Every structure is written in C-alpha cells, then in structure tokens.
C-alpha cells in the first residue's frame, strides 16, 4: 500500500495532459476569433501555459530522481512526460510561426486543423484518466484508437489543404507561410499520437 505522501504519477500525467488541452483550446479560440492586434498578447498567453507545463514536468522529474519504487518503469515515465510536454510545445510553435510570419488572416482550413487537435488532446486526457487502472479499464484501448484515428484524419486534411494551397494561391509568400503552418499543425496531431503509442506500449509491457 502506498503511503499518503506517495507521489501520484498517474495524477501528474493527467495534469500534464490538461496543459495540452488548455493550449489546444487557446489555439482554437485564437484562430476562430483572430485579431492581428492581439498577436503578442495571444503569444504571451500561450507561453504562460507552456511555462506552467514545463514546471509540472520538472516537478515530476525531480521527484523521479529521488524515488526508489515507481508504479511503472522510470524510462516510461520519462518518455511519457517528455512526449506530453512536446504536444504543448508544438502547439505553441504554431502561434510563434504565425507571429514571425506576421499572419494577418486565418484560412478556414487552419481552424479545421485546430478542431482536430482539440479533439486529440481531449481523447488523450480521457486516456490518462484511465491510465491508473489500465489493466481493468474498458475504455483505454478504444481511446488510444481514437487518438490514432484523429491523427489519420489530420493526415488526410493535410494532403487536401496543401493541394488546395498550391492550386488556388499564386502568392509565393502565402504559399511558403501556410505550407509551413500546415506542417506544424499536422505535427501537433503527430505529437498526440506519439503519446498514445507510448501509453499502448507501456500497457503491453505491464500486462
């Protein structure tokens, strides 16, 4: 039996993924109600989320260094915490690129990507809420599949938006800008899938 002061890694994973959700929600809100005048303020808000996520990850890492017994392998805890953090970082990168490229308006396809990213993060959070009970959970496997399916949806969208970009735009700067942004939006979906894949591998190792 764990002591009352035992660090709850499973609970911490949920906290880390909650930052993914906050970042995804903010990205969607910014793209949906885009205002170039608020670009710097939006970037600051996203960075605050990313900074808090880093702090939470460091708390887990510092605890892990001192821990003698862990609920799953240390390597799995490290990999999961890093991959979860990468999701938040990748979402922030989208806004950083938008700011650097001085994007003045949002293409509707970007909002479709943001919607998929939101759904990916929500499915990840539900996955980690079940993770502590992965040997008995009746939903965790289907949630992992859901993340994988959403990533595939993102892949299909990427193909279509890139084709649309190159067949409808004649502005070289616009093509370069949005090609790069679409690539980063697609990376957000990939980052979520990477987390889900590690969860699945960890379950298999411990079942």
Q: Domains, the chain, ranges and CATH?
A: 9-205 (1.20.58.220)
pLDDT number for residue 70: 87
- Distance from CA of residue 123 to its chain's centroid? 11
Contact (Cβ atoms closer than 8 angstroms) between residue 13 and residue 133: no
How many CA atoms does the CB half-sphere of 77 hold within 13 Å? 23
- Distance CA(134)–CA(191), nearest Å, equals 21
Q: What is the pLDDT of residue 7?
A: 82
pLDDT at residue 5, rounded to an integer: 52
For the whole model, what pTM was predicted?
Answer: 0.93
Predicted pLDDT at 1:
39
Residue 76 CB coordination number (10 Å): 18
pLDDT of residue 65: 87
Give yes or no for a contact between 140 and 125, defined as CB atoms under 8 angstroms apart. Answer: no
d(CA 46, CA 89): 10
For the chain, state the CA radius of gyration. Answer: 18
- Say if residues 35 and 45 touch (Cβ distance below 8 Å): no
Q: Which two tokens stand for residue 144?
A: 């992992």
CA torsion angle for 43, 48, 49, 51 (degrees, to 10)? 120
**E strand or H helix at 34, and its extent?**
none
Distances (CA, A) of 71 to 10, 77, 88, 110, 195: 9, 9, 25, 39, 18
Which pLDDT score is estimated for 69? 85
Per-residue pLDDT of the chain (207 residues; tens, 9 = 90+): 344 457 899 999 999 999 999 999 999 999 999 999 999 999 999 999 999 999 999 999 999 988 878 889 999 999 999 999 999 999 999 999 999 999 999 999 999 999 999 999 999 999 999 999 998 999 999 999 999 999 999 999 999 999 999 999 999 999 999 999 999 999 999 999 999 999 999 999 987
- The predicted pLDDT at position 2 comes to 42
Q: Measuring CA to CA, which residue among 182, 89, 202, 191 is closest to residue 137?
A: 202
Quote the strand ranges of the chain, DSSP E: none
Q: DSSP label at 104?
A: -
């Amino acid at each position: 039996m764990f002591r009352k002061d035992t660090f709850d890694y499973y609970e911490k994973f949920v906290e880390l993924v909650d930052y993914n959700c906050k970042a995804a929600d903010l990205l969607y809100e910014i793209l949906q109600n885009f205002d170039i005048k608020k670009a710097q303020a939006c970037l600051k808000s996203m960075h605050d989320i990313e900074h808090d996520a880093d702090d939470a990850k460091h708390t887990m890492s510092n605890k892990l260094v001192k821990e003698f017994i862990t609920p799953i392998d240390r390597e799995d805890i490290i990999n999961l915490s890093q991959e979860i953090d990468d999701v938040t970082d990748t979402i922030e990168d989208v806004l950083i690129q938008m700011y650097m490229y001085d994007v003045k308006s949002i293409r509707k396809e970007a909002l479709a990507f943001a919607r998929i990213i939101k759904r990916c993060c929500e499915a990840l959070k539900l996955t980690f809420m079940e993770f502590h009970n992965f040997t008995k959970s009746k939903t965790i496997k289907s949630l992992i599949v859901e993340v994988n399916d959403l990533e595939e949806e993102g892949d299909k969208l990427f193909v279509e938006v890139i084709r649309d970009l190159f067949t409808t735009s004649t502005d070289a700067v616009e093509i370069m800008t949005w090609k790069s942004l679409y690539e980063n939006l697609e990376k957000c979906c990939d980052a979520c899938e990477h987390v889900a894949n590690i969860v699945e591998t960890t379950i298999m190792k411990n079942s």
